[in-house]
Amino acid sequence: MTPPVGSPQALVASPYDTDTPSEKTASDPTLNPSVSHVDGKTGAAADLYDPSRFSHIDEGKVLRKMDVFLIPMLALLYLLSFLDRANIGNAKIEGLQEDLGMTDDQYNWCLTAFFFTYVVFEIPSNILIKRFRPSRWLPFIMVCWGIVATLMGIVRSYTGLLIARVFLGVSEAGLFPGVAYYLTMWYCRHEIQLRQALFFSAASVAGAFGGLLAFGIGKMDGVGGLEGWRWIFILEGIVTCAVAVIAFFCLYDFPETAEFLTEEERAFVVHRLRYQGQKIMVAKDGAAPMVVAQAEEFKWDYVWQAFKDWQIWVNIIVLWGISCPMAGLSLFMPTIIKALGFTSSMAQLMTVPIYTAAAVLAVVSAWCSDKAGKRSPFVLGFMTIAVLGFSMCIGSGDPKVVYGGVFLGACGLYPAFPGIISWLSNNLAGSYKRGVGMALQIGAGNLGGALAANFYRKRDAPRYAMGHGISLGFEILGIIAIVILITQRTVPHLHMHDYAVCWDWFQRTQGGYVERLQAATFSQWGFGADFPTRPAGRRRSIVGDGASIGVLPPPPSAGRFSTTTHRGLVQLHPQLFLNPESCASIDATIARLAGFFSRHPQPATKRVFNRAARSQTMTRVSIYSSALVAFVAATGMIIASIVTPNWVTYSVTTPKGERFEKHIGLHKSCSSLDSPSCRDFPLAELCQDGERYFCSMWRTIGFMASFATILCLACLVTFGVIMRGGKYKRETGWPIVSGILALVAAVEFVIISIVAYLFDNDDQFTIPGWSLDYSWYLSTVSAAIALLSAVGLAISAYVLPPEEGYEFLEDPLDA
């Protein structure tokens, strides 16, 4: 008997990476078996994929062959890509900016322009890589960026360099997301991060190698009448073009056509990708499971599904927390180190141990993550290390401490990057959706590079407090997003890692039928018991939180079919299943859950709420909506208080009737006597000797205000996730929202308290005419709104009754 399309028998789950929910549909060519054989036939063709046929194959040997033939070339491609992208930082300290007569802002625009086109062209490139084959598409774009990189060595003006950087972004856009997707077509979920890390560690090697290379090439200054920085672009671009020609002959497309594998090994690789190392369910009559072909037809719906998936967007925020600081370090690390008092040559060399250590850590942590089958603890841990590093850079002016902070920052960021990429790729089903989703994640995440290009300003040297502070803020934002990903799982951790689903199937008749598990809407798990199908129409069993199981009748021409009852444990979190050996032991569990639904009968054709249920639902939604509206207003007040320089104001009128005013903000001060009227505050020359304490405290206030803004943005994202997540999230998400709201209020109260303390005790404010201005009052009101919203949500969670139509089911195996 053949299992129906989309049934849990046709879904093969993995125990790996259950940190976040994912959609496993029957259309995923690398995760889920479908109802057609690889060759579209039945019978003998299927025997090739019988697991017993591969018992003699050494899996480790096959993996080593794949590693040898794939990873070195891919890593070399990315090394050259990163080298050609970041060598502008090496060229800068060799005289690029001075020779082209660029201002600091123009140089930063050259850095920023690259990321705009890089982001825009990543998704189209990931769609084209499957259509034009990796072995042709990747070398093609490599030749393109190699030519552009070479031409950067002959530009004569700011405009020429800007245009070259724009086209470099266009041509390099497809490499990283393309290779990240390409690896998922070769390796299983629990193997992918190590290979991603081996590939991505090329970026660290590029940083170290780039410093050594720039040190040597910089000595060619004057050769051929060209400056040393020009030779950096020219020679590295020529090497890229040469390697692209070699890659044209050395890259392979997909396992089915890999010439370095035997025919039996190719079949084995395809088989293990289908089932990801899991036990295969068989129907009750012992029929063999089916497998799916590698090909998947492109549909625009797959693109739309990727854009609608909330976990992709939260992953993007995590990636911002990694990519923004990492891009800042990669672009400005030589400049930061040089500003500490080292020569250009020494600054180039001192980047080598940082990148080397980061590369080693990236590989080691990836190996541990794959072995543990977990992503989030490693990503979270390394991001915490980066937070410590940037905190050291901000807190001290000692060159040794700053260098140590940069060292820790890089060693935290580079290992975290492949972890977050692998985490999302593990949780996206469908090859096209996964390709688009990964390109969207990497593309939007790389917008951080555009932002990072403006983090480190020349006027902030040698401390670069603003750049390090913004990087630290993004790190904290990324950590908050990770916490949301972990805590906003739609089911509790059920300790059911190695299980699949037990079913009694409908008996199929002439017309057949289609059973459709609506995986995109699953956000709660439950048990659907004994609901018969009817030829007259669709039967829907509502199991909670808006999720449903639909059984669709055949078309009218198909004739009648059996109304044999359907029984099964419906696991709506698609990564948690019961294996076939457990079927006999869960009868009592099925009976108990069936009893629950017998006491709570479900509607036959549509979901019906009574007025009380609708009222309670609307009350819960109204509470969240009111809190959200109030908090949006509070966020606006925080931003306004940061932007406007009106925390403390001095106002005095002279005997002649002339009015003099000075306004002090967190980052600027404006005076009616100064020209220009506004300038940075506090100025470095004003922070000497006795004023050092005031400057330190005022800069702390500015940092805390920026941190409060980041918390506000994280809270707004959390509001959106909870309100879009249905009843379950509304019932269980309030502690997270209330906690962030309370933290925002606490930070703001600290800010206004420090400002009030300085206003009362600092000597410069003892002169009559000084007063607290409206920015201080805006922050006070904003803090009060955040605190009241947190308290209101907490009280409503305890006072309001649960929404109707929803009941949380405890793990039956823990009962």
pLDDT, tens digit (0-9, with 9 covering 90-100), for 51-88: 556 677 787 888 888 888 888 888 888 888 888 887 88
pLDDT, tens digit (0-9, with 9 covering 90-100), for 123-156: 788 778 877 888 888 999 999 999 999 999 889 8
Contact 670, 678 (CB under 8 A): yes
The residue with greater pLDDT, 38 or 680, is: 680
Please check the confidence at residue 257 and state whether its pLDDT lies above 90. no
Answer CATH for 620-799 from 3.20.20.140, 1.20.140.150, 1.20.1600.10, 1.10.10.10? 1.20.140.150
What CATH architecture is 53-279? Up-down Bundle (1.20)
Given this model, what pLDDT does residue 431 score? 61
* Highest mean pLDDT: which range of 81-90, 99-108, 295-304, 742-751: 742-751
Tell me which of 68-72, 700-704, 730-734 is least confident.
Answer: 730-734
Tell me which of 275-289, 300-314, 463-477, 700-714 is least confident.
Answer: 275-289
Assign 3-state DSSP to the chain and report helix, strand, coil percentages, each to 5.
65, 5, 30
Contact 229, 94 (CB under 8 A): yes
Contact 30, 23 (CB under 8 A): no
Given this model, what pLDDT does residue 688 score? 67
Tell me which of 393-397, 427-431, 718-722 is least confident.
Answer: 427-431
Given this model, what pLDDT does residue 728 score? 65
Tell me which of 62-66, 91-95, 799-803 is least confident.
Answer: 799-803
Residue 265: HSE in the Cβ half-sphere, 13 Å Cα cutoff: 18
Residue 753: burial class (beta carbons within 10 Å; 0-12, 13-18, 19+): exposed
d(CA 465, CA 449): 18
d(CA 559, CA 556): 6
Tell me the percentage of the chain whose pLDDT exceeds 90.
3
Is the bond preceding residue 177 a cis peptide, omega within 30 degrees? no
3-state class of 160 per DSSP? helix
Helices (H), 152-257: 158-172, 175-184, 192-217, 228-250
In this chain, the answer to whether the domains covering 53-279 and 306-491 adopt an identical fold is yes
Contact 340, 462 (CB under 8 A): yes
pLDDT, tens digit (0-9, with 9 covering 90-100), for 281-303: 333 333 333 333 334 556 667 67
Is the bond preceding residue 682 a cis peptide, omega within 30 degrees? yes
Given this model, what pLDDT does residue 185 score? 80
Confidence class for position 670, pLDDT limits 50, 70, 90: confident
Instruction: Output Rg (C-alpha) for the chain, integer angstroms.
Output: 30
Confidence class for position 507, pLDDT limits 50, 70, 90: very low
Phi, psi torsion values for 388, nearest 5 degrees: -60, -40
CB atoms within 10 A of CB 454: 17
Given this model, what pLDDT does residue 79 score? 84
Check whether domain 306-491 has CATH 3.40.50.1370, yes or no: no
Residues 6+ apart with CB under 8 A from 551: 513, 515, 516, 531, 533, 538, 539, 540, 566
Tell me which of 89-98, 159-168, 531-540, 763-772 is least confident.
Answer: 531-540
Given this model, what pLDDT does residue 478 score? 86
Tell me the percentage of the chain whose pLDDT exceeds 70.
66
Please check the confidence at residue 12 and state whether its pLDDT lies above 60. no
186's tokens: 């070769």
Tell me which of 532-541, 609-618, 636-645, 752-761 is least confident.
Answer: 532-541
Please check the confidence at residue 5 and state whether its pLDDT lies above 50. no
Question: How high is the mean pLDDT of the chain?
Answer: 69
Phi, psi torsion values for 398, nearest 5 degrees: -70, 125
The full length of the chain comes to 815
Tell me which of 250-264, 490-504, 754-768 is least confident.
Answer: 490-504
- DSSP per-residue string spanning 598-630: HHSPPPSSS----HHHHHHHHHHHHHHHHHHHH
Phi, psi torsion values for 7, nearest 5 degrees: -75, 160
Please check the confidence at residue 426 and state whether its pLDDT lies above 90. no
Cα 299 to Cα 199, 296, 304, 405, 577, distances in angstroms = 30, 9, 9, 47, 29
345's tokens: 């040559």
Tell me which of 337-346, 430-439, 576-585, 642-651 is least confident.
Answer: 576-585
The residue with greater pLDDT, 74 or 509, is: 74
Given this model, what pLDDT does residue 550 score? 33
Residue with tokens 């009817």, as numbered in its chain: 534
The residue with greater pLDDT, 384 or 31, is: 384
Given this model, what pLDDT does residue 25 score? 34
d(CA 83, CA 209): 8
Given this model, what pLDDT does residue 241 score? 92
Checking DSSP bridges between strand 668-671 and strand 526-529, what pairing results, if any?
unpaired
pLDDT, tens digit (0-9, with 9 covering 90-100), for 201-227: 776 676 666 667 777 787 787 787 888
Cα angle, residue 60 at apex, residues 130 and 263 outer, rounded to 5°: 55
The full set of domain ranges for the chain reads: 53-279, 306-491, 620-799
d(CA 545, CA 352): 53
Mean pLDDT of the region 38-52: 39
Question: What's the distance, Cα to Cα, between the start and end of the chain in Å?
Answer: 34
Is the bond preceding residue 51 a cis peptide, omega within 30 degrees? no
Please check the confidence at residue 444 and state whether its pLDDT lies above 80. no
